[in-house]
Amino acid sequence: MSDILETILARKRIEIVELQGRIAIGNLERIALAQPSPRGFAAALSAKAATGAGVIAEIKKASPSKGLIREDFNPGWLAEDYARGGAACLSVLTDEQFFQGHNDYLVEARQHTPLPVIRKDFLIDEIQIVEARAIGADCVLLIAAALEPARLGELARLAQDLEMDVLIEVHDRPERDAMLALDLKTPVLLGINNRNLRTFETRLETTLELLAGIPAGYDVITESGIGAPADVQRMLAAGVRRFLIGESLMRQPSPGDALRVLIA
């Protein structure tokens, strides 16, 4: 099977050059620093997780493996619907080529709800991190499979310097251990992706298998493949109280209503 992740990263390198040609990073930094303070993504997630399932509800139009997920796509309405359904935070896809996302979708979603928002994209360069804060992101996703450990640490520290929270995503033991060894100024959220980004195969056991090596004190988020109340209960029973859920909700007429049922 083709390596989907490397295909995406090759495109990202082109996009980074294009972005650097449109705006100097210094100018982008000035825009970023002029934004209101981030809303506190990790804190909002923890507040929900203290009494049940803390869910990052995802706004996603399409994916490379599934194609178009939702034709009726209105980021502002989806953000409001998720908020009514009990979401702690939002995740917005901004990748255009493979997920049919856009930076404007994050801006719109954030304007329609007070919930904190994570920029979900394939971030591999400083200018993308600065751009995330410039468009209002409260948190950024960094994918361990896409970055060498030293580079992962550099980008995480930059995001923290810009007062954003950081979610570092792993999907196997070497990535988990490399992430745990990072020297960061403040703790980060540790996401375990049940979907292999190189093959897009999904198995919930990935989260359960990687839990044993994670020290106490880390906020663990299980990502991908959560589609039924039994999946949520299985993770809660294992001590995982934070979730990133998207596709199963986005296919429903009201994603917010579907979320409410999922975490009831």
Q: Is 45 left (phi over 0), alpha (psi -120 to 50) or beta?
A: alpha
Query: What are 141's two structure tokens?
Result: 């996703």
Write the CA distances from 80 to 77, 85, 143, 153, 212, integer angstroms: 5, 9, 28, 34, 36
Catalytic residue among 61, 91, 120, 248: 120
Catalytic residue among 169, 175, 194, 248: 169
**193 an active-site residue?**
yes
- What is the identity of the amino acid at 84? R
**58 an active-site residue?**
yes
Q: Is 136 left (phi over 0), alpha (psi -120 to 50) or beta?
A: left
Catalytic residue among 193, 194, 196, 248: 193
Catalytic residue among 108, 131, 175, 223: 223
Catalytic residue among 48, 60, 63, 196: 60
**120 an active-site residue?**
yes
**223 an active-site residue?**
yes
DSSP 247: H
**224 an active-site residue?**
yes
Positive or negative, the CA dihedral 202, 87, 58, 171 is: negative
Active-site positions? 58, 60, 120, 169, 193, 223-224
